Amino acid sequence: MTLLAEQLLNGLQLGVMLFLLAAGLTLVFGIMGLINLAHGSLYMVGAFASAWVQQRTGSFALAVLAGLAAAGGTGIAVEALVLRRLYAREHMDQVLATFGLIMFFNELMAILFGRQPLMASIPGFLSGSVELIPGVPYPVFRLAIILVGVAVAIGLYYLISHTRIGMLVRAGATHRDMVRALGVDIVLLYTFVFGLGAVLAGFAGLLTGPLLSVQVGMGDRILITTFVVIVIGGVGSVRGALVGAMLVGMVDTLTRAFLPGMLRGVMPASSADALGAGLSSMAIFILMAIVLLVRPRGLFPAHG
Amino acid sequence: MADNRRHAAVLGLTFLLLLLLPQLATALSKPDLLTLGSQIAIYAIAAASLDLLIGYAGMSSFGHAGFFGLGGYVVGILAFHAADNSLFLGIVPGLTDAWLVWPIAIAVTALAALAIGALSLRTSGVSFIMMTLAFAEMLYFLFVSLKTYGGDDGLGFRRRNALPWIAPRDDVAFYYVCLAVLAIFLIAMRHLVQSRFGMVLQGLRQNERRMAAIGVAPYRVRLAAFTIASAGAGLAGALNANLLRYVSPDSLHWTMSGDLMVMVVLGGAGSLYGAVLGAAAFVGLQSVLAQWTEHWMIAMGPILVCTVLVARRGIWGLLAGRR
Amino acid sequence: MTALLQVRGLTKRFGGLLASGGLDLDVHQGEIHALIGPNGAGKTTAIGQLAGEIRPDAGTIRFDGQEIGHLPVHRRVALGLTRSFQVTSILPAFTALENLMLVHLVREGHPFRFLRSARQDLGLQRQARDSLAGLGLLARADIPAEDLAHGEQRQLELAMALATGAKLLLLDEPMAGLGPTESLAMTEILRRLKRQLTILLVEHDMDAVFALADRVTVLVSGQVIASGPPDAIRADPAVREAYLGAEAG
């Protein structure tokens, strides 16, 4: 029971992280029509910049600022130099060009920081654990991630549903041509949306740093998971991204935690662990395939 | 006509170069060239099969490596069971004869593609890209979790599949086998795209609604194309396993699917022969850049971006003009 | 005389919008039957359902004595029912000849031949040339379809629909985007097709409708408000008020 509670919290924490990544990715697809594989690179850039600054200065606040700035800056630069030319292109071209960007950024990080993982540490005031539920000690840092994630989700909701720029974003996601026709400075809107997505991705990266190691290629794995999230949610829909992120976070965490144990009942422990790990890695893809077969456009399709 | 002559010239030169590669390798005393050549021929088969989907059918499959790796694992697993005289799933004995193993690899991949395609083709656009990716990732994790067959570390085996008249350790002979398979595969694909089926496929890329309105069942045609193309990847994967005498989950990873797409586009999508040039350029650049710096991808990435942005018809378009 | 196409109670709802509200329609052998109505009356949705692209919520569609409401598009084409599109729909990268060769090879029923070259198939070429000649496009056979003039593209699309061997053509605004001369030419072409096959014609060009149609059905908000010979329709007060009046006024 206590294990279940802990794993549920872990699932929530992974879901929050995925939402930070998915929100930007899904908006960029919904508004610009762009499949951006390089989104994972922004996550990596944020994580590296933050870990490096933290190692140098020891300041968590500076590290956070550095991570956000690096990811946002990189995102805006990439949008202006490369991605802008891809909006009107076929999906295939977008996939390829942004795949090239992944190669570039992975290698750039390897040159700048080496292939050895960087270690980021949890700042003092967020270390240790608390007993939220009696008998279940839970790391403060993970709890903080959940809270921050929820705050960001609420902030995004407010931004999108209550502000002028949010109105444009919503309109852009459903009626791309109309927004253009209204004479809105579309270039500025695109840069804003892309920058926002990049900052959120970098934020997810720097929060992940102390939990996992910061290393080259860290964005590749999570990128595919993020795509699973937005496809399940319905590409272009922020609400879909939220629901998809929670679903994927839970399914992934719970199968990883409990499937090997269940399999041990029917086979030797070592094969059960290997097969359990494999099957739980597959779980989110199976989930996505099922969702797409029932609803080919995801749970909350954005375009009518 | 001038274009046709240029075609023939580019094709002829490429083929001559490939034919004489072993002699070249000896003359330059660079035996690595031979492995490089075999690798190019094998990737060219995989890329040409992907080009059928991307360049002719307009189907953006992002899971081609799944089939490439699957073909390799058929070879690896059968060799594994042959080595210790055990049975696969308790019924299938191990095999090492190429004339049996390779067709089995093709058949297994085709069956997998039929099932995966049948599900994936119920979606289109981004969802199709993601479905194909998802199934390839499932295969990837399946093989990672099969500890019997090496799991993460992959599966090595001692001998290549036995071919009549060819010594298993003869690298030159194996290179020519790969080259011959590539030539036959390209001729078959050329016929395929010019056949009735190929015309229907290209029609579907241009205008699906119109094709349905003249009586085509798009789903069945696309499924057939998906199965054929994937079987081609399976064949390439089987050859690749033979070249390396090793298979690993890396051969099914999504970045491998990305690499194959890069070869198609670098070489020029929709030309088949472009796949050969794309594979050569990719493998060649990789080895040249890798000698120059371990960080070769820092150059490969921007080259790819530029190809997509400005040179859309790829190397084949550059060399041979209009197709 | 039994109708070639018999539609009963065809219903389609998009959210709150009733696109087809229990549509009844009879199209008889050999006639040109015009389906008219103001924008948003549900004409194109009706064509889409008859062709099999849109699944109706309710209703039956009998064609040539057979219920076809559950059949996919390509099966209906095989039975002799095909459509043209409001926005020209051709294969832009293929030549006019290749566009038609494709129709004939599908009609012959061998789309799954993998090895023999189709482009060099003389039988297919001859059939395709005959089809092009039928609409006066033979001289343009080797031009890529995307480079044809707009009027020629519309004729090409019509030639493709005819080449499927259709008994019933569903034409969705064949005059759309045509100039006055081209419209007249198209009217002439359709007039020649009369009696050869049956046509359900959706069209906004009233001159063409009244020049061609044997019978006219008027659709308003997804419902038939009148159906009959052109003269009766012209005189029908309900039609005048709901449609012609608004259009003329």
- Name the domain count of chain B: 1
Domain span at C30:
1-80+166-249
Residues C73 and C3 in one domain: yes
User: At a CB cut-off of 8 Å and minimum separation 6, what does B141 contact?
Assistant: A278, A279, A281, A282
Please give the residue that has the higher pLDDT: either C234 or B105. B105
pLDDT at residue A12 is higher than 50 = yes
Q: Where are the beta strands (DSSP E) in chain A?
A: 129-133, 136-139
pLDDT for C104 equals 93
In a domain, C85, yes or no: no
Residues C48 and C143 in one domain: no
Residues C53 and C174 in one domain: yes
Q: Report the residue of B130, B286, B312 to disrupt the A interface, i.e. the one with the largest count of A CBs within 10 Å.
A: B130
pLDDT at residue B96 is higher than 50 = yes
pTM of this structure: 0.88
A292·B123 Cβ contact <8 A: yes
Whether chain A has a CB inside 8 Å of the CB on B311: the answer is no
* Residue A158, number of CB atoms within 10 A of its CB: 11
Residues C154 and C98 in one domain: yes
State how far the Cα of C241 lies from the Cα of C43, in Å rounded to an integer: 19
State how far the Cα of B205 lies from the Cα of A115, in Å rounded to an integer: 43
In a domain, C182, yes or no: yes
Out of C146, C164, C182, pick the residue that ends a domain.
C164
Cβ(B51)–Cβ(B268) below 8 Å = no
Pick A85's closest partner by Cβ from B123, B125, B309.
Answer: B309
Residues C128 and C246 in one domain: no
Residues C115 and C57 in one domain: no
pLDDT at residue B103 is higher than 70 = yes
pLDDT digits (tens, 9 = 90+) for B184-220: 999 999 999 999 999 999 999 999 999 999 999 999 9
Cβ(A245)–Cβ(A222) below 8 Å = no
Pair type for strands C66-67 and C58-63: antiparallel
What residue ranges of chain C have pLDDT lower than 70? 1, 243-249
B298·A108 Cβ contact <8 A: yes
Comparing CA positions, the residue from C146, C145, C143, C151 lying closest to residue C185 is: C151
Per-residue tokens: A51: 């870990």
B197·C51 Cβ contact <8 A: no
Q: Chain B window 249-268: which residues touch A at a Cβ cutoff of 8 Å?
A: 254-255, 258, 261-262, 265
pLDDT digits (tens, 9 = 90+) for A122-177: 887 888 888 777 777 888 888 888 998 899 889 988 888 888 887 877 776 666 66
Q: Where are the beta strands (DSSP E) in chain C?
A: 3-14, 17-28, 32-36, 58-63, 66-67, 81-83, 168-172, 198-202, 215-220, 223-228
Pick B199's closest partner by Cβ from C73, C84, C105.
Answer: C105
Out of C164, C180, C205, pick the residue that ends a domain.
C164
In a domain, B44, yes or no: yes
In a domain, B75, yes or no: yes
- Name the domain count of chain C: 2
pLDDT at residue B1 is higher than 50 = no
Please name each of the domains of chain A with its CATH number.
Answer: 2-294 (1.10.3470)
Residue B314's SS3 state is helix
pLDDT digits (tens, 9 = 90+) for B112-161: 999 999 999 988 888 888 889 989 999 999 999 888 888 889 998 888 88
In a domain, C246, yes or no: yes
Out of C140, C164, C188, pick the residue that ends a domain.
C164
Domain span at B52:
34-263
Pick A288's closest partner by Cβ from B126, B134, B142.
Answer: B134
pLDDT for C249 equals 37
Pair type for strands C32-36 and C168-172: unpaired
| C-alpha angle C94-C98-C101 in degrees, rounded to nearest 5 | 150
Cβ(B257)–Cβ(B47) below 8 Å = no
ipTM above 0.90, yes or no: no
Cβ(C85)–Cβ(C121) below 8 Å = no
State how far the Cα of C199 lies from the Cα of C216, in Å rounded to an integer: 12
pLDDT digits (tens, 9 = 90+) for A248-303: 999 999 998 888 888 888 888 777 887 888 888 889 989 988 898 888 888 888 65
Pair type for strands C17-28 and C3-14: antiparallel
pLDDT for A177 equals 66
In a domain, C67, yes or no: yes
In a domain, B9, yes or no: no
Per-residue tokens: A66: 């550095």
| Residue-averaged pLDDT of chain B | 89
pLDDT for B214 equals 92
pLDDT digits (tens, 9 = 90+) for A86-136: 888 888 888 889 999 999 999 999 999 888 888 888 887 888 888 777 777
Band (pLDDT 50/70/90 cuts) for residue A304 is: very low
In a domain, B290, yes or no: no
pLDDT digits (tens, 9 = 90+) for B42-82: 999 999 999 999 999 999 899 999 999 999 999 999 999 88
In a domain, C86, yes or no: no
Pick B133's closest partner by Cβ from A224, A235, A271.
Answer: A224
Whether chain A has a CB inside 8 Å of the CB on B31: the answer is no
Helices (H), chain B: 2-19, 21-27, 32-51, 64-83, 98-120, 126-145, 171-194, 196-206, 208-213, 218-244, 254-267, 273-292, 297-309, 314-320
pLDDT at residue B323 is higher than 50 = no
Band (pLDDT 50/70/90 cuts) for residue B32 is: confident
Residues C75 and C170 in one domain: yes
